[in-house]
Amino acid sequence: MKLHSRSIAVTVGLAAGMMASSLSAQQAPARRDFEKEITAALASAKTAAQFDFLGTLVRTCLVPQSEGENTTDVPYPYVTDPSKAPSRASWYTEPAKVFDNLYFVGGKVHSAWAMTTKEGIILFDTIYPYNSEELIIGGMKKMGLDPANIKYLMISHAHGDHIGGAEMLQQRYAKFGMRTVMTDPDWTLVEKYPNRYKSMAPKRDITATDGMKITLGESTITLTHTPGHTPGTLSYTFQVFDKGRPVNVAYSGGTAFNFNNRTPDPGIKNFQIYLDSQKKFAEVAAASGATVLLSNHSEFDIADSKNKMFASRGNGPHPYEQGAEAVQRYFKVMQGCARASQLKLEQRQAEGK
Ligand SMILES: [Zn+2]
């Protein structure tokens, strides 16, 4: 009996296989429905954003991305002619104490953060040459912090809106022991374009590597290499305290897509590098127990608006603390929007455009 049923099964299986092969021989290969895939990627980003990451959704899914990485060595107009700097009203905002040991010392759009420890201060990102003096140095002083106590200057990536104040800070505070930390690809970028980085470029100092830990006093910063936005973009995980309670933070170092320039590459490949970095840092953030997502742009973490909530917080929840699930949703927004853009390039490639 057993033998008999097995032979029936073999016969049925063979027949099904023959039918499938004759069907596929008759049909033309199915055309990929790129529109459907793009819509699905955008929908996944929208679902993940909820109300927490609308700025991120708009900026990465909706607003057209810049065409490509700057490869010129021309100084920025606001460096050669200070009158070309944006008006103060467009960037000025007040500093804020965000956690027991973390201060916001950035502007309305671009952020800088000062972490205090028993052995000095760690500063994350330095905004522009034209506003770093007022916002970072002025902001720290307003918060009762002495910039001469900065021991580490962490640059997430070498773009003018984050490295802009680094040269000035290094010139003033390296003599008090301040070290500057950036990845090799971004140090190389700075050295390759001396005119573009005029008035911004710190001298090469500590070369950051993936997984490196930097400890100052009681605080340890874990560095994660998240290439994509620039080849050397760094993201960070660390712990802060809210009224004495430890809170874990994931700081995303580079967000916008600036490699949407041609098909097939570097666009498609760079989007893959970017996507892989988002997945990787999402895992690092989850493993670290991050319940707060910080960025170096206010549009991604809504820092400037959240800072204004502290005045009426009382015993209410911390405005920045969204929970581990929300932090993971941030990375899903990034991945959905990046995948949609990558699919558009794949579609152009498939259509031979
Ligand atoms: Zn950038």
* CATH code of 125's domain: 3.60.15.10
- Separation of CA 352 and ligand 1 centre (Å): 31
Question: Is residue 25 situated within a structural domain?
Answer: no
Domain range for 72 is 34-350
Question: Is residue 10 situated within a structural domain?
Answer: no
- Separation of CA 160 and ligand 1 centre (Å): 8
- Separation of CA 37 and ligand 1 centre (Å): 28
- Separation of CA 229 and ligand 1 centre (Å): 6
Question: Is residue 21 situated within a structural domain?
Answer: no
- Separation of CA 254 and ligand 1 centre (Å): 6
Task: Give the pLDDT confidence score for residue 301 in this predicted structure.
Answer: 87
**Cβ atoms of 187 and 200 closer than 8 Å:** no
Q: Which tokens belong to 290?
A: 């991050």
Question: Is residue 5 situated within a structural domain?
Answer: no
Task: Give the pLDDT confidence score for residue 1 in this predicted structure.
Answer: 40
Question: Is residue 176 situated within a structural domain?
Answer: yes
- Separation of CA 198 and ligand 1 centre (Å): 17
- Separation of CA 18 and ligand 1 centre (Å): 56
- Separation of CA 157 and ligand 1 centre (Å): 7
- Separation of CA 124 and ligand 1 centre (Å): 14
Crossing angle for the helix pair 267-288 and 324-350, nearest 10 degrees?
A: 170
- Separation of CA 78 and ligand 1 centre (Å): 17
User: Roughly how many angstroms between the first and final C-alpha of the chain, as a whole number?
Assistant: 62
Task: Give the pLDDT confidence score for residue 299 in this predicted structure.
Answer: 82
Domain count, the chain: 1
Task: Give the pLDDT confidence score for residue 263 in this predicted structure.
Answer: 60
Indicate the pairing of strand 150-154 with strand 179-183: parallel
Per-residue pLDDT of the chain (353 residues; tens, 9 = 90+): 444 444 444 444 444 444 444 555 556 667 889 999 999 999 999 999 999 999 899 988 988 776 677 788 999 999 999 899 999 999 999 999 999 999 999 999 999 999 999 999 999 999 999 999 999 999 999 999 999 999 999 999 999 999 999 999 999 999 999 999 999 999 999 999 999 999 999 999 999 999 999 999 999 999 999 999 989 999 999 999 999 999 999 999 988 888 766 666 778 998 999 999 999 999 999 999 999 999 999 888 889 999 999 999 999 999 999 999 999 999 999 999 999 999 998 998 888 87
Question: Is residue 220 situated within a structural domain?
Answer: yes
Task: Give the pLDDT confidence score for residue 10 in this predicted structure.
Answer: 43
Half-sphere exposure of 100 (CA within 13 A, CB side): 13
- Separation of CA 193 and ligand 1 centre (Å): 16
pTM of the model: 0.89
Question: Is residue 26 situated within a structural domain?
Answer: no
- Separation of CA 156 and ligand 1 centre (Å): 9
* DSSP character at residue 320: T
Beta-carbon contacts of residue 334 (< 8 Å; ≥ 6 apart): 45, 56, 60, 255, 278
- Separation of CA 2 and ligand 1 centre (Å): 68
Find, among 83, 89, 151, the residue nearest to 116 by Cα. 151
Question: Is residue 245 situated within a structural domain?
Answer: yes
